[in-house]
C-alpha cells in the first residue's frame, strides 16, 4: 500500500527541468496532496507573468528518493520544502528533514527552508504559494535563508 505524505517542495532559480512536467523553472513547487493542484495553479500564474516556475510532486515517500530529488534540484538557488505534518525534532517536518539531508549529502549550495502548512485543517490558497515564491526570491536576493523552520497559516 502506498502512503501519501502531504507535502510540497518549492524551489527558486532553477536552470534544469524538475519533475512532473516542469520546464526549466526558476522556481518550482513539489506537493504530494490536494495542495498539489493549488501549487500548480500558483506555478501557472507565475509562468504567465514570465517567471520560471515548476512543480515536483512527491508520489511515494518511502523508500525516499534522495538521489533523484538531489539530482532534480541540483541547479536550484533556494528551496522551500512544504510539510503538512509537524516533525518531532527541530529539524523540520518529515519531508523537510529528508530533503535537506539529501541536499546536504549532494553538497548542494541551495538555501533551504521548511514550511509547515495546513495545520488544523487550514486551507492553502494560490496566494499563499505565491507568497512562498516571493520569500524564495528574497532569500536569493539576500543570500540568506534566515529562519529555516517556519509555519504558514497559524493563528496567533
**135: which 3 cell numbers?**
520569500
Q: Within a domain: residue 32? A: yes
Residue 123 has a pLDDT of 87
Residue 150 has a pLDDT of 93
Pairing verdict, β 53-55 and 78-83: unpaired
Residue 12 has a pLDDT of 58
Residue 134, domain CATH: 3.40.50.920
Q: Within a domain: residue 1? A: no
Q: Within a domain: residue 156? A: no
Q: Within a domain: residue 2? A: no
Give the residue-averaged pLDDT of 10-23. Answer: 41
Q: Which whole-number Å values give the CA distances from 114 to 21, 23, 54, in the listed order? A: 23, 24, 18
What range defines the domain where residue 13 resides? 7-151
Residue 106: pLDDT over 90: yes
Interval 49-101: pLDDT, tens? 888 777 787 777 888 899 999 998 888 888 888 888 888 888 888 889 999 99
Q: Within a domain: residue 120? A: yes
In the chain, the number of structural domains is 1
Q: Within a domain: residue 52? A: yes
pTM for this prediction: 0.80
Interval 61-75: pLDDT, tens? 888 899 999 998 888
Cα separation, 125 vs 104, in Å, equals: 30
Which residues are within 8 A (CB) of 78 and not within 5 positions of it... i.e. 6 or more apart?
11, 12, 13, 110, 111, 112, 113, 136, 137, 139, 140, 145
Residue 114 has a pLDDT of 92
Amino acid at each position: 500500500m502506498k502512503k501519501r505524505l502531504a507535502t510540497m517542495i518549492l524551489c527558486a532559480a532553477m536552470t534544469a527541468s524538475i519533475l512532473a512536467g516542469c520546464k526549466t523553472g526558476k522556481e518550482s513547487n513539489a506537493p504530494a496532496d490536494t495542495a498539489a493542484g493549488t501549487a500548480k495553479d500558483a506555478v501557472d500564474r507565475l509562468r504567465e507573468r514570465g517567471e520560471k516556475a515548476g512543480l515536483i510532486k512527491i508520489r511515494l515517500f518511502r523508500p525516499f528518493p534522495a538521489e533523484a530529488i538531489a539530482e532534480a534540484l541540483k541547479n536550484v538557488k533556494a528551496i522551500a520544502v512544504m510539510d503538512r505534518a509537524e516533525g518531532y525534532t527541530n529539524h523540520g517536518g518529515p519531508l523537510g528533514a529528508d530533503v535537506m539531508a539529501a541536499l546536504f549529502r549532494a553538497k548542494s549550495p541551495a538555501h533551504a527552508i521548511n514550511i509547515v502548512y495546513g495545520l488544523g485543517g487550514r486551507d492553502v490558497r494560490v496566494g499563499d504559494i505565491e507568497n512562498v515564491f516571493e520569500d524564495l526570491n528574497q532569500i536569493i536576493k539576500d543570500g540568506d535563508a534566515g529562519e529555516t523552520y517556519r509555519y504558514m497559516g497559524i493563528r496567533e
